Amino acid sequence: MSDTAWTITLLYAVATIIAVTLLLVVFRSTRVGFRVKVASRETLEKRETYWGVIAVSLLVITLGATIFAIPYGSDQSTAGAKQRMTIVGQQFAWTVKPARVKAGVKTTIELGAKDVNHAVGIYDPDDTLIKQVNIVPGVSQPIEMTFDEPGRYTIRCLEFCGVDHHLMENTLEVVR
C-alpha cells in the first residue's frame, strides 16, 4: 500500500471504531432497567445544535488539512522538468515513449487518449499504485511526477474502456 493508503486506513479505522462504539452504546441504552433520567426534549434539541457546530468544525478542520494537497495547479507548469515522455492510450494498449526514463528526475508526462476515456494508473516496481489520472479523448493532459525508485513500473488502464480493458497494460523502465 502507498503512504496515502496507509493514512486512509489509519484515519478511517479510528473514526469508524469511535463512531460504531458510540452507536452501540446508544442501542444498548434501550435495555429495560437502564432507562433512568432521560434528558428533556429541549435539552436534546439544544445539543443537536451543538453537535451541528461540532460537525461543521470537524469538516472545516479536515478541509483545511487536506485541500492544499491536491494534484492540480503545478501540473500545467513544465518549468524545472528535466525529462519528458508521452503515454497514449487506445483500445486496448498503451504507447509509452520513451520506454526508459531516469529515476529521481522531475518528469513531464504528456497523457493522451485516442478513442475513448481511459485512465493511466502507474504502479511502482513493488506493484503499489502511486499515481492515477483520467484521460478524456481529444484533450491534452500534461502531468508532472518524479519516479523515485529505479525498476520496472507497470501502467494499467483504470477507466473502463471496453472488452479488453483489463488487458490494457504496459511497462516502463526507470533507470538510475
- Judged by CB under 8 A, the residue of 57, 62, 152, 175 near another protein is 62
DSSP string, the chain: --HHHHHHHHHHHHHHHHHHHHHHHHHHTTSTT----PPPHHHHHHHHHHHHHHHHHHHHHHHHHHTTS-S-SGGG--TT--EEEEEEEETTEEEEESSEEETTSEEEEEEEESSS-EEEEEE-TT--EEEEEEE-TT--EEEEEE--S-EEEEEEE-S--STTGGG-EEEEEEE-
Asked if 11 interacts with another protein (CB under 8 A), we say: yes
The total number of residues shown for the chain amounts to 176
Asked if 92 interacts with another protein (CB under 8 A), we say: yes
- Closer CB to another protein, residue 39 or residue 176? 39
Asked if 47 interacts with another protein (CB under 8 A), we say: yes
Asked if 152 interacts with another protein (CB under 8 A), we say: no
Considering CB under 8 A, how many residues would be counted as binding another protein?
A: 91
- Judged by CB under 8 A, the residue of 52, 57, 105, 148 near another protein is 52
Asked if 155 interacts with another protein (CB under 8 A), we say: no
Place of cell 500534461: 142
Asked if 176 interacts with another protein (CB under 8 A), we say: no
- Judged by CB under 8 A, the residue of 4, 146, 152, 175 near another protein is 4
Q: Which residues within the stretch 113-132 sit at the binding site for another protein (CB under 8 A)?
A: 114-117, 119, 121, 123, 127-129, 131-132
Asked if 163 interacts with another protein (CB under 8 A), we say: yes
